[in-house]
Amino acid sequence: MGEKGLLTIETFLIAMRAFAAAKERKKAVGMFELMKKYKFKVGVETLNSLLDSLGRAKLAKEAKVLFGRLEHRFTPNLRTYTVLLNGWLWNEMIEKGFKPDVVAHNVMLEGLLKSSKRSDAIKLFEMMKAKGPSPDVRSYTILIRHLCKQARMEEAVDYLDEMVDSGCQPDAAIYTCLISGFGNQNKMDIVFELLNEMKENGCCSPDGQTYNALIKLMTQRRLPDDAVKVYKKMIQNGMEPTIHTYNMIMKSYFQIRNYDMGHTVWDEMISQGCCPDDNSYAVLIRGIISQGRSVEACRYLEEMTEKGMKMPQLDYRKLLADLSRAGVPAAFEGLAHKLNMVGNFEKSSFLGRRHERMND
């Protein structure tokens, strides 16, 4: 791409994000340094993007080291500190004359909660109410989501009431947190009350995440038919299902051994133009194997290898035994050959050894 003059800033940003997500810190930084070779201006915003990518990949320590190494080359701005904000930078930010805005406070609030420092997070939240900047919808969402995950539903509802009293209107994200929290406690009556409240108050409508949360609650209870009803409502209201939506419903059908509907969900996903991911294939293949359709499972495994996907964790011994009983051990050999062709020598060798042992 460089030789053909096709590189753009976005190209490098995409590459940096991809390497960071794969925990390839050196390569992510390497892409950052490579920008200079191709005469791209590397400024503080580019640094911010790299630090953000490392932070999202939970490489906070690496981000801090990188910041220390590159700080002299760039003049950090508010976004730099907001991206890195995780406790140790808060005082430095104040000392350098920056006045943290509500966005910075929200990042700090979320960081404290993720670091299991709930008491410090509550103190920060109370300080925001007393001295400013005043908590916004995002502030309350962060706190309520944490409380719901900790099953502290009474406190979560108290903060919801406080939020409304302060003049902030709850949004779909907050209702989704509460719906998930009460649903996980099997308090489905409250779940439906919350849904009615959203509808009656007219403050917000369920969004895609709300519908996915409801679908998750139904599939956790192995009620895929109810999940499908929610899915249809989701479609009717113009929401676009995600790959996670289909994976949850498909898995739920396979769990109750309704294989026909499991396959129907797969077909629906394809027809809606949603490309199956690694997890989709894993759910389908495990469902197929549980039906004893080992040859078909091998075809999907080969399809995964052709797409460069990582093969799922399976009981390959059982798969080979099923193929042998079906009189088609060649399908197993074909899969091993396909893996070898795409360069997955380790897995190919593993399957080859399994095949030899079965023959012995």
Torsion of CA 11, 14, 17, 18, to 10 degrees: -100
Phi-psi group of 58: left, alpha or beta (phi > 0 → left; psi -120 to 50 → alpha; rest → beta): left
Residues 6+ apart with CB under 8 A from 234: 208, 211, 215, 241, 245
Whole-number pLDDT of residue 345: 65
Question: Quick one: pLDDT band at residue 351, thresholds 50, 70, 90?
Answer: low
**Length of the chain in terms of residues written:** 360
CB 204 within 8 A of CB 198: yes
pLDDT of 87 reads 46
pLDDT band at 238 (very low <50, low <70, confident <90, very high): very high
- pLDDT of the residue at 49: 87
For the stretch 17-61, pLDDT in tens is 899 888 888 898 899 889 988 888 888 888 888 888 887 777 877
Joined tokens for residue 28: 């992510």
Domains assigned to the chain: 1-119 (1.25.40.10)
Q: Using CA atoms, how far apart are residues 247 and 269, in angstroms rounded to an integer?
A: 9
Whether residue 349 is predicted with pLDDT greater than 80 in this model: the reply is: no
